[in-house]
């Protein structure tokens, strides 16, 4: 199945940022081939894919173990642009007293 979008969608976003929500990442997992082509098309057209910390938290918090947590982190990093300053800030962000980057078990528990 192909992802269908308006004909002017790509050209209207050229040179801009597209903010991705949790549902986009979840759909990307279930339809990886379609979304891979779609994301590559966006990136080739100078569209920067970004997300926010809350979406990252939503995606990572349900991880059943550290391996799944790291797989989700890798998926997010492969899809969106995240420069080193933002990544460092993300790793230092605290949620409920735990550092998301270093204490994943506290997030799951």
Tens of pLDDT, residue by residue over 38-67, are 999 999 999 989 888 889 899 998 889 999
Distance CA 36, CA 44 (A): 12
Distance CA 96, CA 104 (A): 12
The verdict on residue 28 lying in a domain is yes
pLDDT in the model for residue 12: 93
| Residues with Cβ within 8 Å of residue 108, at least 6 apart in sequence | 61, 62, 63, 64, 65, 69
CA atoms within 13 A on the CB side of 7: 0
Would you mind telling me the total number of residues written for the chain in this entry? 109
Report field, pTM of the whole predicted structure over 0.85: no
Task: Give the chain's domain count.
Answer: 1
The verdict on residue 85 lying in a domain is yes
pLDDT in the model for residue 1: 67
């Amino acid at each position: 199945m192909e992802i269908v979008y308006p004909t002017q969608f790509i050209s209207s976003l050229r040179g801009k940022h597209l903010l991705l929500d949790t549902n986009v990442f979840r759909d990307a997992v279930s339809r990886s081939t379609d979304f891979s082509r779609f994301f590559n098309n966006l990136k080739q057209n100078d569209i920067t894919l970004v997300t926010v910390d809350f979406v990252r938290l939503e995606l990572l918090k349900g991880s059943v173990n550290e391996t799944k947590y790291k797989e989700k982190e890798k998926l997010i990093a492969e899809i969106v642009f995240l420069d080193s300053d933002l990544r460092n800030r993300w790793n230092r962000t605290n949620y409920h007293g735990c550092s998301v980057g270093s204490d994943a078990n506290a997030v799951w528990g």
